Amino acid sequence: MNPITETIDDVGCGRLTLSHLDTLESESIHIFREVVAEFERPVLLFSGGKDSVVMLHLAAKAFWPGPVPFPLLHVDTGHNFPEVLAYRDRAVAEKGVRLEVVAVQDYVDDGRLAERTDGTRNPLQTQPLLDGIADHRFDAVFGGGRRDEEKARAKERIYSLRDEFGAWDPRNQRPELWNLYNGRHRPGEHVRVFPLSNWTELDVWRYIGREGIALPELYYAHQRDVFERDGMLLAVGPVSQPRATESVVTRQVRYRTVGDMSCTGAVESDAVTVQDVVIEVAATRLTERGATRADDRISEAAMEDRKKEGYF
Amino acid sequence: MPVTQPTLLRLATAGSVDDGKSTLVGRLLHDSKSVLADQLDAVERVSRDRGLARADLALLTDGLRAEREQGITIDVAYRYFATADRSFILADCPGHVQYTRNTVTGASTADAVVLLVDARKGVLEQTRRHLAVAALLRVPHVIVAVNKIDLVGFDEDIYTQVASDLATVAFDLGLPDLVTVPVSALEGDNVVDRSARTDWYSGPSLLEVLETLPVADDPSHEEFRFPVQLTLRPQGAARDAAHREYRGYAGQIASGVVTVGDEVVVLPSGRRTTIAGIDTADGELTEAFAPRSVALRLAHDIDVARGDLIAAADHAPEPVRDLFATVCWLSQAPLSKHSRVLLKHTTCTTRAIVSAVDGVLDLDAVQIVPAQDLGLNDIGRLRIRTAEPIAAEPYARHRRTGAFLLIDAQSGQTLAAGMIGDPLAGEGEHADDWDI
Ligand SMILES: Nc1nc2c(ncn2[C@@H]2O[C@H](COP(=O)(O)OP(=O)(O)O)[C@@H](O)[C@H]2O)c(=O)[nH]1
């Protein structure tokens, strides 16, 4: 029999209590199954980042022994870490799922989007994302957002209704009661679904460790050529070149999030294994976004504004 | 010895404006070291900009731009903090705008409600109302933080009076085990550590209370309920050849324990069978309990679909089409505009008609008063007729299978949070009420 039937002696009174990670896992699996049962065309946003990897892992568990019953969608900024793209393609092949890609580069090439002066492409993802959703008529879109990430996200529902512009209206959200999710929507509207809403960064790492989930290598400490900009360590690459005043040094680093390579910072770290990372995250003094995302530092409401426009 | 692993406790806050809710939540996050350096920097910076002498921890729970501009909280926000033995999800419910709607939302999933009372003001009408909502939603634990104890000079008599008034209200509402703690959210007394300034108080600090509460009802004392979400029948698409013939019913155990070999009944059809297997992607289990998500295999090849309930054969609910229910109305448009609705109960959605309004609950007097209609934030008694039979049971005994939503079929809006029967009635009193 399987060792995962653990009976926990909760506060010493011999009750049957599910562990914290099992409770979160079961809640997420319930959400995946509800969406598949009630929506016609769900899709999972997949970047190869750890949250999307954990989502895919949970989806595979929810429908076992069947396949994952929906495709993946990658909004490709064109500013990728090569090892993340390679990981993405491996994961897709392994799970036997279909991958759709919408590329920011196509929009820049034909002039639908203009490159920003700061060169970052995270804010340019919204338009291709919304077009991808509309073109494929996706009605439920799984996102890896967590409520612990940021204060606008703290108010997000698990099912978040979006109008035909993809907009989030924080003042007019449906109340979410018990575990009864209301996914009714009108033609042209869709629902963003966040199965990891209640997970924290530490939970995600503990789960990755417990389940033995493989991640792109750059989540673990490695030697890399970096330069410092705005207090962040940026990798040297095709889209992130140091300016004359910025000197390149080789450091032992890892990434806490992966995104647009030109604005995603590395942190100095000795964490080579999952267990090391769990210890590091538990002890860390900076939020995930504060440490590594240049674009969220711009203003206190940066994320809120992007979400209202239909961002992830 | 069983392994000790951290458990998860869901909390909801409640309190009137200015009782110190934001300060308390900020203090819990701060003192449990759940606030990170960059967040604290931001709070210190903003506090300085506003000319404050010290960091205002209430700013940690600041949310959206409109909220910062207007100095109010618009919507339920979710916060996360953890101690060595337990992780907490805290639904931070605003105290004023849409009070009932937000508190009902937060309380619906909560294992415990933390209510704030200002020690100087004692039990107010608002306090009664907060406690009534907690009682109505059958939140297992209610903890009252008697706040601003520093402003009454850490006076034992004042605290004792407030605590005894609270106990009286709790008794009237049938709330079991109300816990009260004297705290100063601002200065930290009895929030995380016990305070030397309340040496007359020998009980635990607020965080100690939260760390030692039982998480939920013990599944081994509950009846087994399993709403079917979908059928897993991969056929040719199975991940391995051995599962081509697989047929399992996927769902999350709503209550109780299930063991291979248990006799069960599938509702509403009433067909009986036994549990042939309990599956997860990690392998088979011999036993599973709420709230685990599993797939069940049944011994007989009977017709089972989404919306059905698999229940313990000897304690199963009776499927009905006529319901007596208590609802909290959540929509701007009154009930009269929505007499034809959709009703979502577990995984079953059916058309329904509101056949009668019996009255509205006066939360202050905790009494039903006659009414024709329900408006936003009203709690009312309704009779509802459904198109399909549902395996309904009293909310007072089954929080999961006794709850439902009313939904507007056109707009898709959630109109009401519903509880079957009278959640405030003691157990056992409900049985006769509800086929009226
Ligand atoms: N002296 C004292 N003041 C407090 C305490 N808790 C909160 N306050 C103050 O009461 C006011 C309202 O607090 P706040 O947390 O914003 O209340 P909320 O509206 O319930 O969120 C603020 O000025 C706080 O500094 C306390 O324990 N002692």
Condensed to tens digits (0 to 9), the pLDDT of residues A240-290 reads 888 888 889 999 999 988 888 888 889 999 999 999 999 988 877 555 655
Tell me how far apart the alpha carbons of residues B357 and B339 are, in angstroms, rounded to a whole number.
10
Chain A residues with CB-CB distance to B291 below 8 A: 18, 23, 26-27
Distance, in angstroms, between A238 CA and closest chain B CA? Answer: 30
Single-letter amino acid code for the residue at A222: H
Residues 6+ apart with CB under 8 A from A4: A22, B280, B282, B283, B285
For an interface test with B, the pick among A6, A23, A158, A296 (most B C-beta atoms closer than 10 Å) comes out as A23
- The pLDDT of residue A295 is above 60: no
pLDDT grade for B225, boundaries at 50, 70 and 90: very high
Considering only CA atoms, which of B29, B36, B97, B13 is closest in space to residue B61?
B29
Helix (H) or strand (E) holding B259: strand B257-259
Where would I find the beta strands (DSSP E) of A112-269?
A: 140-142, 159-162, 190-193, 222-229, 232-235, 248-254, 267-268
Q: Which of B13, B17, B18, B187 to mutate to test the pocket of ligand 1 (most atoms within 8 A of CB)?
A: B18
Sheet containing A190-193: order of strands: A99-103, A72-76, A42-45, A140-142, A190-193, A159-162
Compute the average pLDDT of residues A31-38.
Answer: 98
pLDDT grade for A302, boundaries at 50, 70 and 90: low
The whole-number pLDDT of residue B368 equals 87
pLDDT grade for B174, boundaries at 50, 70 and 90: confident
Radius of gyration from C-alpha coordinates of chain B: 24
Alpha-carbon dihedral sign for residues A276, A279, A285, A286: positive
Would you say B294 and B285 are in contact if contact means Cβ atoms under 8 Å apart? yes
Contact B79 A154 (CB under 8 A): yes
Position with higher pLDDT, B339 vs B211 = B211
pLDDT grade for A312, boundaries at 50, 70 and 90: low
Which tokens in the block code for residue A162? 């979006």
Does A98 reach chain B within 8 Å, measured CB to CB?
no
- The pLDDT of residue B73 is above 60: no
Burial degree of B324 (CB within 10 A; 0-12, 13-18, 19+): buried
Q: Which atom of ligand 1 is nearest to the CA of B185?
A: 27
Which tokens in the block code for residue B268? 């509403």
Position with higher pLDDT, B310 vs B83 = B310
Position with higher pLDDT, B269 vs B61 = B269
The whole-number pLDDT of residue B63 equals 58
- Per-position b or e across B207-241, b if 16+ CB within 10 A of its CB: bbbbbebbbbbbbeebbbbbbbbbebbbeeebbee
Distances, alpha carbon B396 to alpha carbons A47, B107, B216, B325, B416, in Å: 45, 14, 15, 11, 18
Sort strands A42-45 and A140-142 into parallel, antiparallel or unpaired: parallel
Nearest chain A residue (CA) to B400? A178
Residues 6+ apart with CB under 8 A from B44: B55
Q: Which atom of ligand 1 is nearest to the CA of B61?
A: 21
Distance, in angstroms, between B330 CA and closest chain A CA? Answer: 8
Distance A198 CA to ligand 1 centre (A): 28
Contact A1 B284 (CB under 8 A): yes
Compute the average pLDDT of residues A289-306.
Answer: 53
Contact B414 A182 (CB under 8 A): yes
- The pLDDT of residue B47 is above 80: no
- The pLDDT of residue B426 is above 70: no
Compute the average pLDDT of residues A52-74.
Answer: 97
Compute the average pLDDT of residues B178-199.
Answer: 95
- Using CA positions, which residue lies closest to atom 26 of ligand 1? B148
Contact A178 B37 (CB under 8 A): no
The whole-number pLDDT of residue A257 equals 86
A 149-178 residues with CB < 8 A to B:
151-152, 154-155, 161, 170-171, 173-178
Choices 1.10.287.110, 3.40.47.10, 3.40.50.300, 3.40.50.1980: CATH for B8-217: 3.40.50.300
Compute the average pLDDT of residues B198-207.
Answer: 96
pTM: 0.90
Burial degree of B36 (CB within 10 A; 0-12, 13-18, 19+): middle
Out of A20, A66, A198, name the one closest to residue B237 (CB).
A66
Chain A residues with CB-CB distance to B79 below 8 A: 148, 154
Q: Which atom of ligand 1 is nearest to the CA of B23?
A: 15
Q: What residues are in contact with ligand 1 under a 6 Å CB criterion?
A: B 15, 17-23, 58, 95, 147-148, 150-151, 184-186
Contact B65 A178 (CB under 8 A): no
Distance, in angstroms, between A223 CA and closest chain B CA? Answer: 26
Percent of chain A past pLDDT 70, that is, above it, reads 87
The whole-number pLDDT of residue B430 equals 42
Would you say A163 and A189 are in contact if contact means Cβ atoms under 8 Å apart? yes
pLDDT grade for B96, boundaries at 50, 70 and 90: low
Helix (H) or strand (E) holding B211: helix B206-212
The whole-number pLDDT of residue B182 equals 98
Q: Calculate the average pLDDT of chain B.
A: 88
The whole-number pLDDT of residue B436 equals 29
For an interface test with A, the pick among B25, B258, B280 (most A C-beta atoms closer than 10 Å) comes out as B280
Q: Calculate the average pLDDT of chain A.
A: 86
| CATH code 2.40.30.10 for B320-426 | yes
- For chain A, where are the alpha helices, taking DSSP H only? 20-38, 50-63, 82-95, 104-109, 126-135, 201-211, 274-283, 288-292, 302-308
- The pLDDT of residue B356 is above 70: yes
Contact A15 B220 (CB under 8 A): yes
Alpha-carbon dihedral sign for residues B357, B362, B366, B369: negative
Would you say B351 and B342 are in contact if contact means Cβ atoms under 8 Å apart? yes
**B84 in the Ramachandran plot: left (φ > 0), alpha (ψ -120 to 50) or beta?**
alpha
**B280 in the Ramachandran plot: left (φ > 0), alpha (ψ -120 to 50) or beta?**
beta
The string of pLDDT tens digits covering residues A147-199 is 888 777 888 899 999 988 888 887 778 889 999 999 999 988 999 999 999 99
Residue corresponding to tokens 């976004």: A289
Considering chain A, tell me which residue range(s) the CATH 3.40.50.620 domain(s) occupy.
4-202+303-309
| Ramachandran angles phi, psi of A288, nearest 5° | -55, -45
Chain B residues with CB-CB distance to A173 below 8 A: 75
| CATH code 3.30.2130.10 for A4-202+303-309 | no
Contact B283 A173 (CB under 8 A): no
Position with higher pLDDT, A2 vs B235 = B235
Cis bond leading into B268, ω under 30°?
Answer: yes
Helix (H) or strand (E) holding B163: helix B156-173
The whole-number pLDDT of residue B70 equals 54
Tell me how far apart the alpha carbons of residues A263 and A232 are, in angstroms, rounded to a whole number.
9
pLDDT grade for A9, boundaries at 50, 70 and 90: very low
- The pLDDT of residue A237 is above 60: yes
Burial degree of B303 (CB within 10 A; 0-12, 13-18, 19+): exposed
Distance B63 CA to ligand 1 centre (A): 17
Sort strands B86-92 and B7-14 into parallel, antiparallel or unpaired: parallel
The whole-number pLDDT of residue A298 equals 43
Percent of chain B past pLDDT 70, that is, above it, reads 89
Radius of gyration from C-alpha coordinates of chain A: 20
Position with higher pLDDT, B29 vs B113 = B113
Contact A16 B36 (CB under 8 A): no
Distance B17 CA to ligand 1 centre (A): 9
Per mean pLDDT, which range of A168-172, A233-237, B8-12, B395-399 is the poorest? A168-172
- The pLDDT of residue A10 is above 50: no
| Ramachandran angles phi, psi of B82, nearest 5° | -145, 150
The whole-number pLDDT of residue A290 equals 56
pLDDT grade for B92, boundaries at 50, 70 and 90: confident
The whole-number pLDDT of residue B233 equals 94
What ipTM, to 2 d.p.? Answer: 0.91
Helix A201-211 with A20-38: angle, nearest 10 deg: 90
Single-letter amino acid code for the residue at B177: D
Position with higher pLDDT, A189 vs B337 = A189
Residue corresponding to tokens 């698409």: B237
Compute the average pLDDT of residues B390-411.
Answer: 94
Alpha-carbon dihedral sign for residues B82, B85, B89, B92: negative
The whole-number pLDDT of residue A90 equals 95
Chain A residues with CB-CB distance to B91 below 8 A: none
Considering only CA atoms, which of B107, B153, B145, B197 is closest in space to residue B21?
B145
Distance B58 CA to ligand 1 centre (A): 8
The whole-number pLDDT of residue A241 equals 84
Chain A residues with CB-CB distance to B2 below 8 A: 6-9
Highest mean pLDDT among A51-65, A172-186, B115-129: A51-65
pLDDT grade for B5, boundaries at 50, 70 and 90: confident
Give me the total of CB pairs closer than 8 Å, taking one residue from chain A and one from chain B.
232
Alpha-carbon dihedral sign for residues B276, B225, B231, A45: negative
The whole-number pLDDT of residue B68 equals 53
Considering chain B, tell me which residue range(s) the CATH 2.40.30.10 domain(s) occupy.
220-315, 320-426
Contact B403 A1 (CB under 8 A): no
Considering only CA atoms, which of B261, B251, B370, B371 is closest in space to residue B312?
B261
Single-letter amino acid code for the residue at B97: V
Position with higher pLDDT, B25 vs B427 = B25
Tell me how far apart the alpha carbons of residues B303 and B270 are, in angstroms, rounded to a whole number.
11
Domain B220-315 belongs to what architecture? Answer: Beta Barrel (2.40)
Tell me how far apart the alpha carbons of residues A174 and A195 are, in angstroms, rounded to a whole number.
17
